Amino acid sequence: PMGSERMEMRKRQMSTASESPGAAQAQHSTGNRGSNACCFCWCCCCSCSCLTVRNQDEERARRTSHELQAEGIPNCEESPAPTLEEVNAWAQSFDKLMLTPAGRNAFREFLRTEFSEENMLFWMACEELKQESNKSVIEEKARLIYEDYISILSPKEVSLDSRVREVINRNMLEPSQHTFDDAQLQIYTLMHRDSYPRFMNSAIYKDLLRSLSEKSTEA
C-alpha cells in the first residue's frame, strides 16, 4: 500500500509539472493579448494609446484653427465686388492684383487653401504699421507683428532668411514704421513667384472670371 501511494503521488507531481509550462505560457499569451488587443482589434477602445495620440493631434489642429479665428482676424477686407476688367487685370501682373482690396481678398482666399494665409496677413500688418505715426502705437504694433509672424514659436511664422531676421532683430531695438520693410519685400516676392502663378490657374480665379464673364454677356 505504501508503494502504491508513493507511485500515485509521483504521477500527480509529474502530471502537474507537465501542465504548468503550458498553463504559464497560456497565461502569458493571454496577458500579452489583453494589453495589445486595443491596438490590433478592429473594435479599438477609446483608451488605446495610439488613438489617444491621434486624437490629441486632431484636437491641437482644431484648437489652432479656433485660436486664429478668435483673434479677430477679418476674413476679408471691405471692398466692392470686382468688375470683369479688374479681374482680367489681375492676370496682367501681381502688382495689379495686390493693389485692390478685391484682388487681395481673392488671393487671400486661395492662400487659405494652401495654408499660407499668414504671408498675406503679415504683408497687410506691415502696410498698416507704415500708416502709424504715434511712437507708442508703432512700438506696440511692431511687437505684435514680431510675435505673430517672426517668432519661431508662432504657428503663423513666415519664411524668412537669416539675413532678414538679423535686420529685424536690430530694428526691434528701436521699432519704426519700416522695421519690417526687408521682410515684407521678401514675403511679397515669395507670394509673387510661388503662389501667384498657381492662383491664376486655380478654380477660385477661373470661377470668378467665368461668373463675371457670364454676367457681362447677359447684360
Give the C-alpha separation, 54 to 129, whole Å: 40
pLDDT band at 77 (very low <50, low <70, confident <90, very high): confident
Reported pTM: 0.66
| Confidence label for 152 from pLDDT (cuts 50, 70 and 90) | very high
CB neighbourhood size of 22 (10 A): 9
Burial string for 143-174 (b: 16+ CB within 10 Å, else e) reads: eebbebbbeeeeebebebeeebeebbeebbee
Taking the domain 84-218, which CATH number applies?
1.10.167.10
Q: DSSP E strands: which ranges in 123-181?
A: none
Q: How far apart are CA 84 and CA 216, in angstroms?
A: 8
